[in-house]
Structure 1
Amino acid sequence: MRYLLGLLLCIGMAGCSVSIEGDIYKQQTPEFSLEQFFTGEVKAWGIVQNRSGEVLQRFTVDISGTKDGNVLVLDERFTYSLGEGPASRIWRITPQTNGTYTGQASDILDVATGTPYGNAFNFTYSMDLPVDDTTYTVAFDDWFWALDNDTLMNRSYIKKFGLVMAEVTIFMQRQ
């Protein structure tokens, strides 16, 4: 009986996790270029939902992308119509010789790792996320998909102990 309960618990917990295989997007078009899409002005609209699907935040982001040598600098300015969050974030994203990317921002722990997959791009990183009076160290599994050359969808899975605790959905459009 104990074994059966343990097995059911493991199956149930696995259902709370998300695992996307990037290789299935390698042949899909349009091909997504991080530098090409984000160099210039981008407008974004998004929401954050908790595990039960309740919308906790609604926001817009004005993103200004510039190049500093081979480094892509993204200056993000957030406006919230529901909830609270950071007012700004500046990413510094650097291409690596193996085709991947590394990224850094002041509220990101260590270094973010980015991998392109045809029309998709995956960014993974950890951050300390303030919620009410507590701060949680969480992992972001951040996926971008090009819908066309000027429109992008972003889906982020915020995980704690490997379980999805919240999801972020953002649509972005080049201006």
Structure 2
Amino acid sequence: MPKQSVSSFHPLAKGFHWIVAVLVFAVWPLGAVIGFIKDDAKTSFYLWHESLGFLVLWLMLARLCVRFLKTPPPRPAMPAAQARLADTVQWALYIALIAMPISGFLATNAHGFPLQWFGLIPVWSPIGKSPDIAPVISVVHYWLSWTILTLVVLHVAGALYHRVIRRDDTLERML
């Protein structure tokens, strides 16, 4: 018997999802290794980490607009607790993936390094060099990085659970 077709997310939602996923898997490791890079190469790592992170911010804002403008497809039947967990992880990822680049942007500026997006476009900041708050914003940025990693692991585990264990169409909605 042929498998029924699955209603899926809007093509823009899918595109933003997968582009952000790829960028997160690039930005997170770039940020994680900066402390281990020789000083003469750090500037280049920071440039890419910050620029791609700032791109994630704009893509997430666009993705959020699509999310509010286009109704997502119905999810396959699942227990209420599982649906709440899925919603919680999804919305926590939205929040963290928006808060993370904002905190990084503000931390960099507070440390006295304004953003030059991809080395080309100067980006105005609401704060300048602020040594008093720079460490606090940096700590927020650091803990958001681990929060995002945890949420991504939960998100991928959920997708794999639905694909491998439940064998339902949850994953196909985003493919």
TM norm structure 2: 0.22
Report the structure, 1 or 2, having the larger strand content.
1
Report the structure, 1 or 2, having the larger helix content.
2
Larger Rg: 2
